[in-house]
Amino acid sequence: MTHPVGPTIHRSGSCADRIPHMEWLTHSQSGFQQAARYLLGMRLAIIALQLTVLAVTEALLSLVHQTEALILCLAYAVLSALCWLWFSRRPPGSKVTVSLVLTGDLLLIGTWLYFTGGYTNPLVSLLLLPIAVALILVPLRYSAAITAAGVAIYTLLMVWHQPVSTGDSTTDLAQLHLVGMWVAFAITAAILLMVLGTLSRRLRQKQQQLSSIRETRLRDEQIIALGLSAAAVAHRLGTPLNTMTLLVDEMKSVMPEGEQVADDLALMENQLTLCKEHLQQLSEAATHARTTRPEVLAAGQWLRRIRESATLLWPGANLEWQEPFPECQVAVDATLDQAILNLLANAISVSPDWVSVGAQHGSTDQLEIIVEDHGDGLDSSLTSTLGEHVVTSENGLGVGLFLSNATIQRLGGVLKARVSSEGTTMMIELPVASVEQPG
């Protein structure tokens, strides 16, 4: 899993000392916590609609159970406030508890309908709202049970309910019922759009985040596998290199002076020493990567460091560095240096006559590093999935681009590529680091 990178701030004390009452929420609890505000909005909208209907009905007719209906509205408001406090501060971890709460919604709405005409009340469609919310928040078996409870309450309201009024006002009741059906439909549709639409969008965002995290973990597993293989190869190469070094020393001791072979043996000895140094650097780099954190440098200072390394590695290459460099801050480490050098090595291998390296401070608070060449080393079909897989390479193992992209993404950056008839352009976007002032 990748983590956002920023400047390291050292503080005394443990994490538990700084946050003494930290609570960790499960995935379900986090979802219920986010749904608390939308559930409160749904319930308040239902209560407002019930009170409006009571007021309009009382103005046209004489309600028989007005007091009971008002008490139930008050009880529903209290339940809404308590559930909001519960879900937002200490969300329940069990889906059974949430299902019981939604069933309580059905019971309160059904009881209110019982005192206001039962199934003849146009607001009977409000029973659908807790069922719709249950379909999103709880598993199918629980939402099926809540649906069965809603159907049972509707059925009971067809058999037992209290009349709205005792007077002879059939015409007024019919007209009020028709208008109430329209109002109930409009309000129910608005609540569904507000609550369920928002919850569904949040769930989709969570699914996208989980998918991204899953892909990142798979890529990290590939990188770890490559790292373990490299470490194993480095360890295994130590023995044959030591053996060849001893053989070269022995051959030099028995070889007559003045022979041409002596020069070849000296060259072989130098190459063996160089191989040992490379293996030692590999081990030290792995240890350094495990124990250090990114450092925050000015972009110009960091890029000049890259330029010095590139000059030492490729003294004959025609590298054009587009100065001046931006002086924004960026979080870097040794692995990022190697990632940039890998990209430069690819560019130099396909375009030894000209490679351009520039940088600019982007409009989205990003440091953009641009590497251009006149070669055709990158297949245009790979630009859409750049760095996501190990690719075939004629000049190397094909893992350099993959590892470079993984390193850049680990530090919060993005690697892009554009292929044209004039060559290939690689763009590295890195987040600009903000330096906190000491307090």
What pLDDT was estimated at residue 392? 43
More confident site: 50 or 4: 50
Tokens at 126, concatenated: 């409000």
Specify the residue for token string 């700084």: 18
328 three-state secondary structure: coil
- Candidates 104, 122, 126, 111; CA nearest to 160 is 111
Most confident among 106-110, 221-225, 228-232, 283-287 (mean pLDDT): 106-110
Rounded to whole angstroms, how far apart are CA atoms 21 and 122? Answer: 48
Q: How far is CA 100 from the centre of its chain?
A: 32
pLDDT band of residue 152 (cuts 50, 70, 90) is very high
DSSP 324: S
pLDDT of 276 over the 80 cut: no
The secondary structure element, H or E, covering residue 221 is helix 197-254
Is residue 43 exposed (0-12), middle (13-18) or buried (19+ Cβ within 10 Å)?
buried
CB within 8 Å of 56: residues ≥ 6 apart: 176
- The amino acid at residue 420 is S
For 271, other C-beta atoms within 10 Å of its C-beta total: 12
Tokens at 287, concatenated: 């240890």
Rounded to whole angstroms, how far apart are CA atoms 371 and 355? Answer: 7
Rounded to whole angstroms, how far apart are CA atoms 426 and 386? Answer: 10
Rounded to whole angstroms, how far apart are CA atoms 227 and 276? Answer: 18
DSSP 376: -
Task: Write out pLDDT tens, residues 77-126.
Answer: 998 899 888 888 887 777 888 889 899 999 999 998 888 888 888 888 88
Q: How far from each other are the two terminal CA atoms of the chain, in whole angstroms?
A: 31
- Candidates 105, 107, 110; CA nearest to 43 is 105
Rounded to whole angstroms, how far apart are CA atoms 299 and 267? Answer: 40
Q: What is the DSSP string of 148-176?
A: HHHHHHHHHHHHS---S-SSS-HHHHHHH
Task: Write out pLDDT tens, residues 165-204.
Answer: 665 555 556 666 666 677 777 777 777 777 667 767 777 7
Asked if the peptide bond before residue 240 counts as cis, ω within 30 degrees of 0, the response is: no
pLDDT band of residue 21 (cuts 50, 70, 90) is very low
Structural fold of domain 295-431: Heat Shock Protein 90 (3.30.565)
Regarding pTM above 0.85, the answer is: no
Structural domain boundaries in the chain: 25-214, 216-291, 295-431
